[in-house]
Structure 1
Amino acid sequence: MVEQFKIDQIDGKILDLLQQNSRISNQEIANQVGASVSSVWRRINALEEAKVIQGYGLTVSPEKMGYSETILLQVSLEQHNDTYLEEFTEMVNTIPEILECYATTGEYDYVMKVLATDMRSYHRFLRNSLMSMPFISKTFSQVVMDKIKFQKVIPTTAAQKK
Structure 2
Amino acid sequence: MTSSVSVCPVTIRIQEDDFDIAREIAVLTKSRTDIGAVVSFSGICRADDDSAKVAALTLEHYPGMAEEEIRRHTDEAVSRWPLNGVTVIHRVGRFMPGQNIVLVLTASQHRQAAFHAAEFLMDYLKTSAPFWKKEESDAGTNWVEAHARDDKAAARWTRS
TM-score (norm 2): 0.31
Larger Rg: 1
TM-score with structure 1 setting the length? 0.31
Larger helix percent: 1
